[in-house]
Amino acid sequence: MKNIDANGHVRGESLFIDDILTKQHTLHAAVLASEIGHAKDLKIDISRAKQFPGVEKILLASDIPGENEIGGILLDEPLLAENEIHFQGQPLAVIIAETEFIAKQARKLIKVTFCMLPVITSAKQAKQQGQFINDARSFYLGDVSASFANCKYVYEDETFSNGQEHLYLETQGAYAEKMENGCIKIMSSTQGPTVVQRIAARVLGLAMHKIEVDVTRLGGGFGGKEDQATPWAVMVALACNHLNRPVKLILDRHDDLKMTGKRHPYESQFKIGLDENYKIMALEIEFLQNSGAAADLSPAIAERTLFHATNSYFIPNVKTTVHSCKTNLPPNTAFRGFGGPQGMYVIESAIAKAANHLNIPAWHIQHANLLQDNDTFSYGQIAQQVKAKDTWDQLQGNINIKSIQDFVNVFNDYNIETKKGMAMMPICFGISFTNTPMNHARALVHIYQDGSVGISTGAVEMGQSVNTKMLQVAAQTFSIDPDLIKLETTNTTRVANTSPSAASATADLNGKALLKACNALVERLKHVAADVLVAGVDTIELKDGWVVVNQVKSDLDWKELVFKAFWQRVCLTENGHYATPTIKFDKSKEKGHPFAYHVYGIALITTTVDCLRGTYKIDSIDIVHDFGKSMNIGVDLGQVEGALAQGIGWMTMEEVAYNDEGRLLSNTLSTYKIPDVFSIAEDINIEALETEGHDLAIFKSKAVGEPPLMYGIGVYFAIQNAIKAFNPNYKLKFHSPMTPEKVMMGLYEK
């Protein structure tokens, strides 16, 4: 099935927040953000701005009736700064005016005074100064120190992986209007409608039932709208509450880049030990996560870094520690992979380092250590239905890996102006929110008396085509024409207490809930059919829009059946609830079974470096990916291709840059480059692993949103292998992204 939104998208008719026809008397907001990274004694003088014609109100922290607190995991982040400033881009005031233009003109008239404090921009600085978000976390398996003593080869080094701007094409935005009885309706571009509802209620001092949050779709999220869509929605709700008029806020790109957090940069140290057969016997990593100025989702992201620190490998002795370091950058946040990519980058660096010293291709080590059934992860989960070797072997069956390596070597022997490099990148990614209580969802299904169907779930459509998958679940279960089914907006009054659309798990959780609801309705309708057709319930099936009795089509079609049910006063509405079984995690022991299942895959990447200009291109990427039994391969391939491009961007050209004062330098699309149509590999082959899928995945179709991003990590090492072929003195670097600058300096380093 094609993306059910495709017609609207290609015709320019799909509605995003900024496209909603504004109501009469709508006001527009602009946010004043801090131009300074760290300060106290903040004073904000709005006297001139207030007088500016067209300005209705300027909101400050003092205008907040409830709590000035938007923190989710920890209560450490104000909506509007109060006395202290903790990062450049921190919201200080919200200007509400007749037009956005006026609001922005007035914004320039606000005077801010403060007393400056020292700024911390790196995780290492923060650690030295004891600035942490929360306590460090550590996972242990086996006995690391004893094992290192017995290892034949031990290597240590430091790594840095830079942040990444989400660059969802649709900037953050929200639109709020006052309803009767003091209620507020917020239309928000958020991945987490319930988060917005809960925080808006807290800040406004209202009960949650007074706040309705409605989401039609997002113009991209990628994690950037999981927690950080909230402040803007709360601001318009607050303004609306004060002024009794609809209020709209759409951040312009510049404000969005400046005010929102990004993927966390990590500074880490690793120590890896191998035996004579290249088996990794011990791994020790200390991760320093640059969390920014507030917790946001950092503790959860840090946790996932630990979960993925061993990637697809079995390592019997592991000690990994992560510190969430508090700096004066915008609070960094969720981004596709959620700390997983940062974890995998370090183990892949460690393997590359070892391989370089042992003078073998890194894939020899990778292959020797692939995870197998019944291996134990460092967090205690026993690996089951492992597909690490299966994906590797299927790829090997398609293209002989060694022959590619030989081709690259021969090419490099005979060419000097260009050099090629290859790398393999296996992935293993756990599916479920690592915070077990979040793994539940609901779906509300109405069958209308004419046979058409309306579906509400907690899933937010942001381009991943989750609504298409939801529609497939209902169409398949009811066995009716998909045109009879409509996916409603995601709305907190229809589906409450939802987890955000995140962790790749949205289709699984909401799909399973929807499946339950649909099955319950089918059961009810079968009874009606049995009654009407005077047949046993067990003999009845719904098939292709008809009631089938004992495999024989009856005269009763779906529409008539539904109408008869309605006439018999049968309930045609069902609410399905699903909570992932089997998962658990004990944080006091850091052991458990946090994931419903894992997704596996392997990529082979080849690159060519122009040794004169220091530029590079990706020649080919061959992937075998574990989709399970994909329920929509067109959609799922799109997820792999899109995630791959983002992973490549993170590892190559996307360079988030702050100066020492914490000012974002890469603050436009002309200074922050993401992959364009020319940046992707010339030859991309993605093949599905032949597998039966997993029972905990919806229709056995595994989660696909995040895992493939990490294939991009292979590009980083493939480029370095090409550099090394040109400059044997080149010392491997573990400092992403691999920009043309780093390539050039590497080609010619002494």
Partner 1 sequence: MIEFILNNKKITTDANKSMTLVDFIRENRNLKGTKIVCREGDCGACTVLVGQLCRDKKSVSYQTITSCISPLANAHGKHIVTVEGLNIANKLNQVQQYLKDNYASQCGFCTPGFVVAMINYCLNADSKTEEQMLDAISGNICRCTGYVAIINAAKKVVAESKNEGKKLTLKQLIQHGFIPAYFADIFEQLKSLDQIPYVVSGQEIIAGGTDLYVQQADTLLQATNLRYILQEQSQTVAIEDNECSISGIAKVSDLFDSEELNQRIPHLREYLRLLSSEAIRNMATIGGNFVNASPIGDMSIFLLALDAQLLIAQGDNSRTVALKDFFLDYKKIDIKKDESIAKITFSLPNENSYFHFEKVSKRKHLDIATVNSAILIKYEDNRITNIDLSVGGVAAIPKYLVNTCQFLKDKEINSATLLQAIEIMNQEISPISDVRGTAEYKRLLANQLLKAHFIKLFPEQIIFEEVVTIVGEAS
Q: List active site positions.
A: 706
Query: From the centroid of its chain, how far is CA 617?
Result: 26
Closest CB 333 distance from partner 1, rounded Å: 16
Identify which of 123, 247, 254, 243 has the alpha carbon closest to the alpha carbon of residue 668: 254
Rounded to 10 degrees, the C-alpha dihedral 233/239/242/245 comes to -100
Identify which of 283, 304, 279 has the alpha carbon closest to the alpha carbon of residue 364: 279
Which of 149, 544, 615, 660 lies at the binding interface for partner 1 (CB under 8 A)?
A: 615
Residue identified by tokens 């917005």 is 196
Residues numbered 372 to 431 that lie near partner 1 (CB under 8 A) are 412-413, 416-417
Cα→Cα distances 727→296, 405, 682, 722, Å: 43, 18, 25, 9
Closest CB 427 distance from partner 1, rounded Å: 16
Query: From the centroid of its chain, how far is CA 310?
Result: 20
Cβ density class 248-284: b for 16+ within 10 Å, e for less: bbbbeeebbbbbbbbbbbbbbebbbbbeeebbbbbbb
Identify which of 27, 52, 62 has the alpha carbon closest to the alpha carbon of residue 108: 52
Which of 163, 614, 705, 714 lies at the binding interface for partner 1 (CB under 8 A)?
A: 614
Residues numbered 140 to 179 that lie near partner 1 (CB under 8 A) are 167-171
Sign of the CA dihedral running 383, 423, 704, 709 = positive
Give the list of residues 6+ apart from residue 441 with CB closer than 8 angstroms, or none: 457, 458, 459, 498, 499, 506, 509, 510, 512, 513, 577, 578
Closest CB 627 distance from partner 1, rounded Å: 14
Closest CB 718 distance from partner 1, rounded Å: 16
How far is 539 from 210, CA to CA, in rounded Å? 48
Closest CB 190 distance from partner 1, rounded Å: 14
Residues numbered 495 to 524 that lie near partner 1 (CB under 8 A) are none
Residue nearer to partner 1 on the CB measure, 413 or 555: 413
Residues numbered 247 to 276 that lie near partner 1 (CB under 8 A) are 252-253
Task: Kindly tell me the number of DSSP H helices and DSSP E strands found in the chain.
Answer: 19, 28
Site size for partner 1 (CB under 8 A)? 87
Which of 145, 613, 695, 731 lies at the binding interface for partner 1 (CB under 8 A)?
A: 613
Residue nearer to partner 1 on the CB measure, 373 or 417: 417
Closest CB 486 distance from partner 1, rounded Å: 18
Identify which of 653, 625, 620, 655 has the alpha carbon closest to the alpha carbon of residue 639: 625
| 3-state helix, strand and coil shares in percent for the chain, rounded to the nearest 5 | 35, 25, 40
Binding-site string for partner 1 from residue 449 to residue 478, where x marks contact by CB under 8 A and - marks none = -------------xxxx-------------
Kind and range of the H or E run holding 321: strand 317-326
Contact status, residue 176 vs residue 185, Cβ threshold 8 Å? yes
Specify the pairing of strand 27-33 against strand 247-250: parallel
Residue nearer to partner 1 on the CB measure, 286 or 655: 655
Contact status, residue 718 vs residue 743, Cβ threshold 8 Å? no
Residue nearer to partner 1 on the CB measure, 374 or 668: 668
Binding-site string for partner 1 from residue 707 to residue 746, where x marks contact by CB under 8 A and - marks none = ------------------xxxxxx--------xxx--xx-
Residue identified by tokens 């801010």 is 112
Closest CB 403 distance from partner 1, rounded Å: 19
Closest CB 600 distance from partner 1, rounded Å: 20
Residue nearer to partner 1 on the CB measure, 396 or 620: 620
Residue nearer to partner 1 on the CB measure, 178 or 469: 469
Q: Does 357 bind partner 1 (CB under 8 A)?
A: no
Tell me the window of 236-244, 484-492, 613-621, 623-631 that interacts with partner 1 (CB under 8 A): 613-621
Identify which of 350, 23, 305 has the alpha carbon closest to the alpha carbon of residue 177: 23
Residue nearer to partner 1 on the CB measure, 425 or 562: 425
Contact status, residue 439 vs residue 505, Cβ threshold 8 Å? yes
Closest CB 26 distance from partner 1, rounded Å: 12
Identify which of 261, 196, 183 has the alpha carbon closest to the alpha carbon of residue 17: 196
Residue nearer to partner 1 on the CB measure, 597 or 726: 726
Binding-site string for partner 1 from residue 231 to residue 250, where x marks contact by CB under 8 A and - marks none = --------------------
Residue nearer to partner 1 on the CB measure, 473 or 738: 738
How far is 31 from 89, CA to CA, in rounded Å? 10
Residue nearer to partner 1 on the CB measure, 101 or 567: 101
Residue nearer to partner 1 on the CB measure, 15 or 179: 15
Identify which of 601, 618, 596, 627 has the alpha carbon closest to the alpha carbon of residue 695: 596
Closest CB 8 distance from partner 1, rounded Å: 7
How far is 311 from 329, CA to CA, in rounded Å? 29
Residues numbered 284 to 303 that lie near partner 1 (CB under 8 A) are none
How far is 567 from 585, CA to CA, in rounded Å? 48
How far is 324 from 116, CA to CA, in rounded Å? 24
Residues numbered 1 to 60 that lie near partner 1 (CB under 8 A) are 2-3, 5-16, 18-19, 21
Judge residue 527's burial from the number of C-beta atoms within 10 Å of its C-beta, 0-12 exposed, 13-18 middle, 19 or more buried.
Answer: middle
Closest CB 494 distance from partner 1, rounded Å: 22
Cα→Cα distances 393→179, 400, 702, Å: 60, 10, 20
Residues numbered 78 to 117 that lie near partner 1 (CB under 8 A) are 101, 104-105
Which DSSP string do the residues of 580-616 spell out, in sequence order?
A: -SS-EEETTTTEEE--SEEEEEEEEEEEEEETTTTEE
Residue nearer to partner 1 on the CB measure, 226 or 390: 226
Residue nearer to partner 1 on the CB measure, 181 or 729: 729
Which of 587, 612, 690, 695 lies at the binding interface for partner 1 (CB under 8 A)?
A: 612
Closest CB 298 distance from partner 1, rounded Å: 23
Sign of the CA dihedral running 557, 562, 567, 569 = positive
Beta bridge partner(s), residue 460: none
Closest CB 33 distance from partner 1, rounded Å: 17
Identify which of 163, 460, 141 has the alpha carbon closest to the alpha carbon of residue 298: 163
Residues numbered 629 to 688 that lie near partner 1 (CB under 8 A) are 634-635, 637-638, 641-646, 653, 655, 657, 665-666, 668-671, 673-680, 684
Residues numbered 430 to 449 that lie near partner 1 (CB under 8 A) are none
Residues numbered 522 to 551 that lie near partner 1 (CB under 8 A) are none
Residue 249, amino acid: L
How far is 457 from 512, CA to CA, in rounded Å? 11
How far is 624 from 424, CA to CA, in rounded Å? 11
Which of 611, 651, 689, 696 lies at the binding interface for partner 1 (CB under 8 A)?
A: 611
Residues numbered 208 to 227 that lie near partner 1 (CB under 8 A) are 217-220, 222
